[in-house]
Amino acid sequence: MSEDFLSKILSQFGSGGSKEYVYLSVTPGVGLEMCQIDVTTSPKSVKAYAVRELAYNETSKDIADYEVFKNAVSDMYDELKINPKCNVIVNLPLVSMGTMNLPLILSDDQLLVSITSEVEQTYIFRRMEPTIAWQDVNVNQNTDSRKILYSAVQAPVIENIRVALATLGSTLVNVDISVASYLRALDFTGLTSTQMQDNVTWNLMIVNSTGYSLISLVGKTIVDYYEEPLAIKTFEGDDIYNAINSSAQITLMSYPANYLYIISETDMVSAELLASKIQGAVNVDFFENNTFKKHEVMPVSLDVLPDNVLKISMQVIGAAATNYSDFPLHFQFIKQAKSSGGGFLAGAATEAPVPITIGEKTFEITPTGATTLSGILVLVIGGFLALLSYVLLPNIAATKQQALDSVTIKNQDIDAQVSKLDKEQQTTGSFDFKGEVDVVLKNNRAKLMSYSAIGQTIPETVWITYFMTQGDGLVDIKGAATNVEDVYVFFKNMKDSLLNTKLRLQKLEMQSGSVDDLLSASESQNYEFEITNMTTDQLAALFGKLLGTDGEEQDPNAPADAKKSGNNAPANGLLGNSPIPDLNKK
């Protein structure tokens, strides 16, 4: 059945006609993009594309001039010979996104209040009303809780876009955000077909000019979302990659996965170079969504200007794939966005007309016509099914009964296993697996930060002879230096790197044992120091007695510099082999 014929049929029940779909993307660094794709070709390709310059304010997360936006859309309509009376889907840069764990009992209105309270903590939504959309990422019936992924866009931004398009005769039907567009584009183009498999864990890292975000997924299911702000513009050269790598090492420890996929949307960072430097991931792949791009996102038709091929962003492809990708992430901003008159956006809360979408076409009919057409379709389909039931129903019933019996038997076996496990758990006690994992990650993170701080802050004239750190934040460092100034430099750097650790300079003295040794020394003397945040009692518990009552015996746990001359027993800490005592043990 052709679309023209279907249009004539539908016109008998309502307003009839069809509207073309057009996809726009506000892409910082590129401008305003317009795109349409063709899924009838093999492989699928971009059949129409145009781009215009458009200033975007990164600070306020807003289009700088909506009159320029409107004129750019009009110019691209003319260039691509598109009827302005069309439906438009717009992709916008991410403004706010996060996750929340909330009780399952909360209604949608209560959820909206909770999310709004969280969103309004950001500086943007202290000045502008937010339009909020959310989606469940995990529902736990056992704990009566749900984990939601939410996003927010300024309501005036959506309204300004709607008004600008309406003056051209176009209808804004949906607003998407860059994170969702990225995931949809990766799915549609097959760039992450290996990662988007059932039970495959992977992370998507998106690098921009203000830091990076990490989306943790299992196949196509989003598990968590994390943002790490970094002042990338303040770094130069390899310092950018070192800063991202240092931060990502700790972040990736909290999100273990089989794959890491990196997308860079800033010209300051090459995704390829970052992928070669990143540590803490096994299988790393990347895509350059910036000036480092070497190949297009997907094939393009000959109608696309050659100069524009590499400009096509992954965001506009994701927006254009809205009707073709089954990636399960959809934010419905239009249904909640209020217009300046206090009502809802046109088409969001009204009953007329009712759109029916088939491919790239939308047929609109009145509610009465839609009801009549639905009734006719129900009668036709019902009569057809009733006719088939006389032949197929007996066989279907027998097959379904066999399947039901099989499922019943399996359920009984599962119930028996669950009962057995419950009894075993009551007998042996419970083990909090998540709690233990959290403790390990927290302790390893604290230790890793201590090691990293020493490596980044130690002057060349300072060396460490002893180092101890524990997951509860206790630190003890012994060392030597050729001058006092570098000891203080190292001490200050450590305090700045390990905030809230209350480090103090416990000891600073010359390495000589006596004044005579100092006066007779032909070379300059070194200075011994100790930096710690441990109390005197904790230090005593760590090292034990330095000398026994007979003046000869030494505790084997004491550090090398605390023992008598000639005693080579191993010391505690980084350079020793003896175990570190648990200072919190009562």
Distance of CA 476 to the CA centre of its chain: 36
Give the closest residue to 88 by CA, choosing from 181, 32, 22, 149.
22
pTM assigned to the model? 0.58
Whole-angstrom Cα Rg for the chain = 33
- The helix (H) or strand (E) run that includes residue 117 is helix 108-119
Residue 330 backbone class (left: φ over 0; alpha: ψ -120 to 50; beta: rest): beta
pLDDT digits (tens, 9 = 90+) for 14-35: 444 468 899 999 999 899 999 9
The Cα 289–Cα 271 span in angstroms is 8
- The helix (H) or strand (E) run that includes residue 266 is none
pLDDT of residue 335: 66
The Cα 195–Cα 190 span in angstroms is 10
Residue at 393: amino acid letter? L
Rounded to the nearest 5 percent, the helix, strand and coil shares of the chain are 40, 25, 35
The Cα 54–Cα 27 span in angstroms is 9
Structure-block tokens of residue 400:
């379904």
Longest dimension (CA), the chain: 114
Give the closest residue to 115 by CA, choosing from 133, 129, 127, 103.
133
Q: Per DSSP, which regions of 230-302 are E strands?
A: 259-264, 283-288
Low-confidence ranges of the chain (pLDDT < 50): 1-2, 8, 11-17, 336-354, 545-553, 555-558, 560-580, 582-586
The strand pair at 201-208 and 259-264 is best described as parallel
The Cα 555–Cα 547 span in angstroms is 7
Give the closest residue to 98 by CA, choosing from 207, 205, 218, 224.
224
Structure-block tokens of residue 68:
């320029």
